[in-house]
Amino acid sequence: MRIAIADNLATVKTLREMIPSEHEIAWIAHNGEQAVSRSLEDRPDLILMGLRISVLDGVQATRLIMLHSPCPIVLVTITSEENTAKIFEAIGYGALDSVNIAADNSQQSLLQKISTVGKLRGIKKGLKKTINAPLVVFGASTGGPQALSVILSHLSANFLSPIVIIQHIDQQFSLGLAQWLDQQTSLKVRTAKEGDRLCAGEALVAATNDHLYLTHNLTLSYTENPVNYAYRPSVDVFFESLAKNWSRPGIAVLLTGMGKDGAQGLKLLRLKGWHTIAQNQTTSAVYGMPKVAVELNAASEILPLEQIATSIKNLVIKGTISK
């Protein structure tokens, strides 16, 4: 199901964490006026509408959406005593229901309402539309966590590309890294699990000392091979699996790090039509991995850290990838 979210930044992040990855985030609006405009351009299967959203509140935004581009709307409240009169006013304009995300059973309640809307619209559980935005992948080692936080902090909640991060880090620290990065960005960041599929607007972090790779059926998996490879999880292993199994060009970024892992994989992706970026020497904590990539002519662009997020956003907005 394609679900749109219209609410303030903090609530958007909460809702994204509550919505299972089987559903696609169609778009995100941070005020009622944006919600009305976006629903005209792209009508989702469901809108989660904040009652206290700014510019136009949830009531007025619901009224205009149901007038011009009607679709199921569930109101989102954050207190048990929020204005009941406004909830019923919005329901009078066509909202289906409301959910209090501060309640103890809030996620279960939200999932039940999403399921109900899916049944009403005849949407089968588990079916998702094809990802339209290009896949964005990162490889990093020494200095990588800070570099990743800088980039992700500049990607807004309505950035709808799937993201995968391969950071050289022991598995005992991978969950902490994902949780820390999640706090630095409005995107949803979590560790990658066996069998995961890439999901729009979600960042997945390689989570074990084995190598993350993309299978032929486009699910994520882990492998111990190559066993004797010094870099774990390996950027090259993941990039090579993308070159083999992901059919559309995306954006691959090789960040600061010791050694040479990722350089050959980056070159392979560039040859496959991907737009490839290497972090420059001045802003790299250790100019090893990106240096080798530059020497191999594997990078479409060589950029300082503070320009990488801008380049990614411009490429995603244009919808054209150049190698």
Residues catalogued as catalytic: 141, 168, 261
Distances (CA, A) of 277 to 19, 82, 146, 323: 32, 48, 17, 10
CA distance 13 to 201: 11
**At 26, is the secondary structure helix, strand, or coil?**
strand
CA distance 312 to 97: 38
**What does the block give as tokens for 244?**
């083999």
Contact 7, 31 (CB under 8 A): no
Contact 269, 253 (CB under 8 A): no
Nearest 5°: CA angle at 57, between 52 and 62? 115
CA distance 248 to 290: 23
DSSP state of 29: E
CA distance 149 to 84: 40
**What does the block give as tokens for 308?**
């990488």
**What does the block give as tokens for 24?**
């696609």
| E strand residue ranges, 209-273 | 211-214, 220-223, 251-254
CA distance 219 to 53: 37
DSSP state of 219: B
Contact 99, 76 (CB under 8 A): yes
